[in-house]
Amino acid sequence: MDMQDRARLIRAGDRRALARAITLVESGRVDHRAEALALLDALRDPPRQALRIGLSGTPGVGKSTFIEAFGLMLTARGLKVAVLAVDPSSTRSGGSILGDKTRMELLSRDPNAFIRPSPSQTHLGGVARRTREAVALCEAAGFDVVLIETVGVGQSETLVAEMADVFLLLLAPAGGDELQGVKRGIMEIADLILINKADGELLSAARRTCADYAGALGLLRKRAQDPPGFPKAMTVSAIEARGIAEVWTEITALTDWRRDNGVLAARRAEQALHWFEDEVRQGLLAQLTANPKVKAQMQELGQEVQSGLSPSHAAAKLLALISDN
Ligand code: GDP
């Protein structure tokens, strides 16, 4: 099948064609890369955009339960929802991929939803690229909302925030002073902090935690990209599907404001620039280390650094060698 036919199928919302295209962008093979770029190119015009929502939270906080409730609420409103998972630290085996399949059981059977589990991949840069491209494919396939989910570890939430229009942080009710446990950096990128499990015995703890976060958010520096009242903390119960519609109302209010004030477009332009620079950096590094002479020198200097050579000296030496080549 030629590229135009594949692009047409994806645009028509063919799920198998979409799934295959995502597999293609995930591939590390050089010939696949060229094919993936050609396909993405064929899908660029006319452009289609989805609302990109990033979601982060530690394991057990209720991400799957939340996404199921949130996704079903959106499809009930006639919206098409894609869910992509980012798990850079993952060395997942078949077992947990199987686990992924049983997650979001109702949503995964919904014809207006598409769920793509995280591939096993360890390289953060690679994960970023495949996710960005998978988002672009889902947009071309006509999804209205693309949810990008990540486990809240390491750099993955920054990575997801850098490709999302809106970033949600899911937290569990805390006992006492656990507020300190959430890194300031994450609070600074969150647009909505959702305290999940606001039900049953946990309800009052959830309300208390929510008030604590609302207070902490109030102390953060005001961001130019926000209307009054944002970032915001709210309580939800994913399991009882309570507060879920309200989350959508807040997301809509926030993104409408950002769209009307040019923030959304500026943010996407900035993200595109960032990813361009990021790819150039990675590409350069890959090209350099593909050069056996540079690679050998890098290893040699690396050893010298470990036994005392100044890192700056070593780097200058290596860069001089490269520019001589
Ligand atoms: P994930 O690891 O972040 O995807 O979390 P899961 O969605 O798998 O949920 C972890 C556990 O928390 C499960 O036992 C859920 O049933 C439970 N859970 C999720 N959401 C809620 C909620 O709103 N209320 C309560 N009480 N439990 C919840």
Contact by Cβ (8 Å): 282, 125: yes
In a domain, 75, yes or no: yes
- Same domain? 255 vs 316: no
- Same domain? 139 vs 256: yes
- Same domain? 4 vs 123: no
- Write down the pLDDT at residue 97: 42
- Same domain? 80 vs 229: yes
- Same domain? 119 vs 71: yes
Contact by Cβ (8 Å): 3, 42: yes
- Same domain? 60 vs 147: yes
Range of the domain at 289: 274-324
Residue showing tokens 């996407």: 268
Q: What is the CA radius of gyration of the chain?
A: 22
In a domain, 200, yes or no: yes
Which tokens sit at 16? 């198998």
- Same domain? 84 vs 151: yes
Which residue blocks in 150-228 are alpha helix, DSSP H?
156-161, 184-189, 203-219
Report how many domains make up the chain.
3
pLDDT tens readout for residues 197-232: 999 999 999 999 999 999 988 888 788 889 999 999
* Residues 6+ positions from 263 with CB-CB distance below 8 Å: 224, 225, 257
Which tokens sit at 162? 């850098």
- Same domain? 63 vs 144: yes
pLDDT tens readout for residues 154-206: 677 788 888 999 999 999 998 655 555 666 778 888 999 999 999 999 999 99
Low-confidence ranges of the chain (pLDDT < 70): 88-102, 119-126, 152-154, 175-183, 325
Report the atom number in ligand 1 closest to the C-alpha of 67.
7
- Same domain? 139 vs 53: yes
In a domain, 265, yes or no: no
**Could you tell which of 55, 239, 240 is best to mutate to test the pocket of ligand 1, judged by most ligand atoms within 8 Å of the CB?**
239
Contact by Cβ (8 Å): 157, 54: yes
Report the atom number in ligand 1 closest to the C-alpha of 202.
26
Residue nearest to atom 7 of ligand 1 (CA): 62
pTM score > 0.85 for this model? Answer: yes
- Same domain? 56 vs 6: no
- Same domain? 173 vs 301: no
